[in-house]
Amino acid sequence: MSYYDDALDRAMEVLGTKGRAEEWLDKMSESLGASPRKLLDSKEGFNRVLRHIHSVELANDTD
């Protein structure tokens, strides 16, 4: 089972557009040790990606 669609939806919420979200999911992440997309075949990987998206969200929050 892939969690790609759910991760894409969440990334779009944080990054604003589908294109930016897709790029982010495909980009190598040093902190994850892989691209987020490569981790989305397991629940554990999906949860790691969601935590990473949350950290991006916090970093972008300038209020």
pTM of the model: 0.88
d(C-alpha 53, C-alpha 2), whole Å? 17
Q: Is the pLDDT of residue 63 over 90?
A: no
* DSSP one-letter code for 16: S
Q: Which residues contact 60 (CB under 8 A, 6 or more apart)?
A: 14
**Which pLDDT band, with edges at 50, 70 and 90, does 14 fall under?**
very high
Give the total number of structural domains in the chain: 1
**Residue 39 sits in which domain range?**
4-60
- Measured between alpha carbons, how far is residue 9 from residues 4, 25, 30, 32, 63 in Å? 9, 11, 22, 19, 23
Coil, strand or helix: which one is 60? Answer: helix
Distance from chain centroid for Cα 3: 11
**Mean residue pLDDT across the chain:** 93
